[in-house]
Structure 1
Amino acid sequence: MSWLLPCALLSTVLTQTSAPETTVVAPKVPTPLSRTPAAVSVVEGEDLQEARPTLGLYEGLVATPGLVVQSRNNASQDLRLSIRGFGARSAFGIRGITVLVDGFPETMPDGQTNVDSLDMASAARVEVLRGLASSLYGNAAGGVVSITTEEGPDRPFVEARTVHGDAGLWKLHAKGGGKSGDVRWLVSASRMTLEGFRRQSGTEQVQVNGKAVWRPDGGSELMAVLSLVDAPEAGDAGGLTRAEVEADPTQAAPLNLSFRAGESVRQGRLGLTYRRRLGEAHEVEASGFLALRRFQNALPSVVVAFDRTFDGVSVRYGNRAPLLGLRSRFTVGTELQAQADRRKNFDNVEGRPGSTRQLDQDEDVTALGLFAQEELELRERLTLVAGVRYDVSRYAVTDFLKEDGDGTGTRTFQQPTGRAGLIWAPRPEVSVFASATQSFETPTTTELALLPGAGGGLSRELKPQRSDGVEVGARGLLWGRLRYDVALYAVRVRDGLVRFEDENARAYFRNTARSRHLGAEVALEAQVTEGLRVRAAYNALQATFRDYAPRGRQLRGRQVPGIPAHQVGAEAMYRHTSGALAAVEVFSAGGLYADDANTVREHTAWVVNARLGHRFPMGPFEVSPFLGLQNLLSARYSDHVRVNASRGRYFEPAPPLTVYAGAGLSHRW
């Protein structure tokens, strides 16, 4: 790969016609893409919703470079996302990536993320910042996913939508919104049930989301968001051996079946954000949120249960006054977040808590971050961006079960991070950039858990993971029709956190010494005709251990498991002026190792999805029927590969061809 490629592409397009400027919010503050020295992908609401079942965040991200998606079909283990290899080791949920919804963090202070409260049927945009970002967001920012939900439109509307499909899929969704004076509002509610492709994989979920934005004048804004989720059932079929997958991919792991593995969740969240411009040069923003979560997870031999409080406040100040006679934007702020878990583990009696307590402790995590960033236009169209952040995270455990030793204790992690970048943008959508960035990840409370028999409390051996990276990239528009986005990067990882399992398939973690990620990303989007658009993305990533010797066995040069070396995603979509839509997407899955020693590899499979839709008026209403086919060719592949699983149970097979169909009915005043 040539490091001159971005510059060569840029020089080709300097004479092309520019397109309207794009503003992104993933880099902490709203910033024109032409002034952002980082790789950022944007997916708009139509691509996220139209003719899709809207079951998860993954649906519209097929042609996003650098992003790997797993566990689409296991609601108990939750969606896995990894960006440039960060997040690939997650035992459950999203790890190593910061996820935001309307600016509020879904990522906990300890770095773990679950997105079970997100309903994509009301998502307006998803931005993916592909690169290290701890100087912006602190802990677990190996990349950033920022979701913006819909606001109420000028014309009030109401819409109902239903989806039915294979494996017992049924989802009913209703939303409505509008504008009342200076207030825009939108309310969304849904109910979903799914029996699942495999035994012990059914799920049920009810969601309610609301958003109100009050803009009393041109200089101020108050936003309130509310989300509620009740998921009483989410089965976990567990991992299978390769032989079991070949014999019957619909079966569940024997232990998961006998212990009725799965989880239930109830969560509510309220957030408020106030923004105010003070004259031409100054801006302030203050926000706060409170989330309550009740969780129970039945695992083989143990039931984990906790009640959680997650809250936080943040304040940010921005100044656009010139600095040394140069155009400048300076930002400084602070964030304080707290996570309090009342956690108990019991023996598992047919999926329910037994009478024997295995763990009884309070877990508290407090995280404080201070950050500053300067954007300085050194000369016309050449901008320097530099930022620093200092984070302190304190973990405290109070152990109430002392029969196996008192695990009461604390751990404190402190970490400064920084970034510096240059971006040259001769036109709004033609830019080339170079940057150096840093990231860190403290172990989560789950990752700090000790092996059975060691008592409660926190591991004293596990260290935070630290990363340093450099990147060059280019993006632009050719001939008014072809958009491109190219990035080359190198990341050095120290004390990487690696997952392994005990004999009961319970996940634990240890540190590697050093590893290295070298990668390239290319994304293309062409408007072939007025109605036909084609998107494609390719990732190449070589992630290798540089110094790692578990149990005395040196694994230098082996591939980091859970990370595909190559990945391709593409989509062709045709929209007719009559309102008809047809789309086909294809992506590669697998092509990665399942264990540290690289003795088990999941093959590469090609997955094809297709969907059809139409919108047409019917009196005062608009009707929108749709049909979708997923895994059209019934490719056999793993929806999730469990890294370093015990007893060879690495694989969670994906379903073959599945069909869904539905219709929407809407009315606007």
Structure 2
Amino acid sequence: MSWLLPGALLALGLAQTPLPDNSSPGTGETLVVAPRVPTPLTRTPAAVSVVERGDIQDARPTLGLYESLVGVPGLVVQSRDNASQDLRLSLRGFGARSAFGIRGVTVVVDGFPETLPDGQTNVDSLDLAMVSRIEVLRGLASSLYGNAAGGVVSLTTEDGPERPFVEARTVNGDFGLWKLNVKGGGTSGPVRWLVGASRLERTGWRPQSATRQVQFNGKVGWTPSERAEWTAVLSLVDAPEAEDPGALTREEVEADPRRAAPLNLSARAGEAVRQGRLGLTYRQRLGEAHEVEARGFLSLRRFQNALPGVVVAFDRTFDGVSARYTNRAPLLGRRNRLTLGAEAQSQSDLRKNFDNVEGRPGATRQLDQREDVAGLGLFAQEEWEPREHLTVVAGARYDVSRYAVEDFLKEDGDGTGTRTFQQPTGRLGLIWAPEQRVSLFASFTQSFEAPTTTELALPPGAGGGLSRELRPQRSNGVEFGARGLLGGWLRYDVALFSVWLRDGLVRFEDESTRAYYRNTARSRHLGAEVALEARVTERLRMRAAYNALRATLEDGALRGKKVPGIPTHQASADVVYQHPSGPLAAVEVYSAGGLYADDANTVRVPLAWVVNARLGHRFPLGAFEVSPFLGFQNLFSAPFIDNVRVNAARGRYFEPASPLTLYAGVGLAHRW
């Protein structure tokens, strides 16, 4: 572990991830919801980072999660500039091999899953202008969330405020950026509401990277009594254009990083998405010690993606229900909480692949099948305080997932078939909290990742249906951590962890650059994370974060090689000045790259340092408020790779990041 010390000491010498004052009434304790049940942070046996509304929205263009999460230790964010690939997240190495979107990390919004039963996640329906809080649970969490929970990103959207308001906000920037947000909300008796709409257009830095998107989000809460609460959420998105400029070789990057991949240009690569989602939550307190919660949701998605050689299209239905019971009755005279829950989800895709004729589906079908995934999970968790300041947490979950394919195109053989995965997972943790804002924890956790329907796809010539060879990825981990407050001004969050992983899912590409998967050897992830926040004055805040992660293959021909897509070291820091009268100034710096792009460790992505800055002000004008702002992304035009395509064919690993990007905007709000 000596290789971890220099970076840890460096971070301790600085004044990052905030541990905010989102406190439970009367206790002063910070509550987090990522562990499925609202829990004081000091009694959570896991590393949790929290990002509050000001860091999400103030003087930011609100284009994607990458703006707010660069300072979370252990979290790698990629594909900022390629909307077709969607945002890519990896947490402590989980999700690093994803071909597109998010894999291996569970994402929930207002308690509803964005992660499908097969483990895939897309966040193209998320509007950050409506988000008030983001929590990142940095550790294995399948005993809480089931499949694909190498970590959890939990987002909470704004509730309707007591004082009615309406707000309009526009931002313009380099490379054709324009975004307009309008939102409003209020409270009327037991009903609170908030609605928002946005329109985004961007031509992009590289050719073939334009984006157009329209969104609508609504949230209505009804509290008929002190013990009951209903919440309904609605999300609609229409994104008719999200082009894909593709990845380049190293020689192409060095010659002209702005160019698009030739195959992507000729194929007019890119995707179009329409999606709608409706969710309903009911909570009821039964006396002082009991609570029940029930959720249900329905999501419909139409998707078309033009790739070199193929156009992929599907209509998807994703729905689910869940129920949770919580009992806070004391056990043996000591504080206790028992949670029991069940959830069922289903995903049904009507999928067709066609020849690509200048970006449009041709007459020839390459694939025509129905794909169904059904998942059922049962979980229980016990949290007991056997003595003062000591809490024991034990949890278990059992998941069953069934995959079924009905092949309607049998010219190359009948690919109809089924796969079933069953997996128990557990969790055991100890928390010692000698003071209200100080806690030490140790935990043993597990996770598993069943292959997604995309990962189970067979290469051309192998027929349709699902691979019979691909196995779920399984992980066991131990973690030790500490968090607290020193001297009333310095918050700290330190974690050491080790994860043993087997049957890892490895991405590779064929000559058409389409991605497929295979299982690889065992690997081990050994790491340390430090996050600090110094409240220098009431108006000045400094933060820093550092993490070191050594992820290596344990056996096979690649024994000792580093797992690709995972940086060995990451660091970030920011300084934020905010005056109560309105001025805001912030500067942040973070590392990017410093990883391998292939299993053999022959292709290295160099480390780069990226600097962002933002300025803003709030001017109250009676019942109105005007908020101009200005921002600089990649202030010094550092040349770095925004998206690494692991194990890509023909050396096309690299998607270069845009240089200095300037944006400016203004908001106008009215409150009654």
TM-score, length of structure 2 as denominator length: 0.96
Corresponding residue for residue 369 of structure 1: 377
Using the alignment, how far apart are the partners of 2:203 and 2:406 within structure 1? 39
Map of 1:340-379 to 2, 5 A cutoff? 340-379=348-387
2:46 partner letter: A
Match of 2:276 among 247, 255, 268: 268
Helix, strand or coil at the partner of 2:304:
strand
Map of 1:380-419 to 2, 5 A cutoff? 380-419=388-427
Say yes or no: does 1:326 pair with 2:334: yes
Using the alignment, how far apart are the partners of 1:39 and 1:428 within structure 2? 17
Corresponding residue for residue 488 of structure 2: 480
Give 1:604 deviation, angstroms. Answer: 0.2
Map of 1:126-165 to 2, 5 A cutoff? 126-165=134-173
Match of 2:196 among 185, 188, 201: 188
Give 1:62 deviation, angstroms. Answer: 2.1
Match of 1:531 among 528, 532, 539: 539
Corresponding residue for residue 551 of structure 1: none
1:117-156 C-alpha deviation (Å, 9 max, x unpaired): 0000010000000000000000000000000000011100
Match of 1:42 among 44, 50, 58: 50
Match of 2:211 among 180, 197, 203: 203
Q: 1:62·1:585 contact (CA, 8 Å) conserved in 2?
A: no
Using the alignment, how far apart are the partners of 2:571 and 2:369 within structure 1? 45
Match of 2:655 among 640, 652, 659: 652
Give 1:66 deviation, angstroms. Answer: 1.1
Match of 2:448 among 420, 425, 440: 440
Match of 1:635 among 638, 647, 655: 638
Match of 1:109 among 108, 113, 117: 117
1:441-472 C-alpha deviation (Å, 9 max, x unpaired): 00000000001011100000000000000000
Helix, strand or coil at the partner of 2:263:
helix
Corresponding residue for residue 238 of structure 1: 246
Q: 1:465·1:496 contact (CA, 8 Å) conserved in 2?
A: yes
Corresponding residue for residue 224 of structure 1: 232
Map of 1:450-465 to 2, 5 A cutoff? 450-465=458-473
Give 1:428 deviation, angstroms. Answer: 2.2
Give 1:617 deviation, angstroms. Answer: 1.3
Corresponding residue for residue 54 of structure 1: 62
2:581 partner letter: S
Say yes or no: does 1:493 pair with 2:496: no
Using the alignment, how far apart are the partners of 1:27 and 1:439 within structure 2? 14
1:266 partner letter: R
Q: 1:167·1:196 contact (CA, 8 Å) conserved in 2?
A: yes
Give 1:214 deviation, angstroms. Answer: 1.1
1:529-554 C-alpha deviation (Å, 9 max, x unpaired): 11110111101000000023xxxxx1
Using the alignment, how far apart are the partners of 1:186 and 1:390 within structure 2? 37
Helix, strand or coil at the partner of 2:554:
strand
Say yes or no: does 1:72 pair with 2:80: yes
Tell me the matched-pair count: 655
Q: Which 5+ residue runs of structure 1 have no aligned equivalent?
A: 10-17, 549-553
Q: 1:512·1:547 contact (CA, 8 Å) conserved in 2?
A: no
Using the alignment, how far apart are the partners of 1:291 and 1:428 within structure 2? 41
Helix, strand or coil at the partner of 1:324:
coil
Using the alignment, how far apart are the partners of 2:41 and 2:209 within structure 1? 41
Corresponding residue for residue 307 of structure 2: 299
Corresponding residue for residue 559 of structure 1: 562
Helix, strand or coil at the partner of 1:457:
coil
Corresponding residue for residue 541 of structure 1: 549
Identity %: 78
Q: 1:473·1:485 contact (CA, 8 Å) conserved in 2?
A: yes
2:643 partner letter: H
Match of 2:35 among 27, 39, 57: 27
Helix, strand or coil at the partner of 1:255:
helix
Corresponding residue for residue 288 of structure 2: 280
Q: 1:326·1:376 contact (CA, 8 Å) conserved in 2?
A: yes
Q: 1:611·1:629 contact (CA, 8 Å) conserved in 2?
A: yes
Q: 1:62·1:570 contact (CA, 8 Å) conserved in 2?
A: no
1:50-93 C-alpha deviation (Å, 9 max, x unpaired): 00000001111122111110001110000000110001000010
RMSD of aligned C-alpha atoms?
1.5
Give 1:37 deviation, angstroms. Answer: 0.4
Corresponding residue for residue 667 of structure 2: 664
Say yes or no: does 1:606 pair with 2:604: no
1:289-333 C-alpha deviation (Å, 9 max, x unpaired): 000000000000000000000000001111111223322100001
Say yes or no: does 1:583 pair with 2:591: no
Using the alignment, how far apart are the partners of 1:443 and 1:61 within structure 2? 26
Give 1:20 deviation, angstroms. Answer: 2.4
Helix, strand or coil at the partner of 1:547:
coil
Using the alignment, how far apart are the partners of 2:621 and 2:337 within structure 1? 50
Match of 1:511 among 519, 534, 537: 519
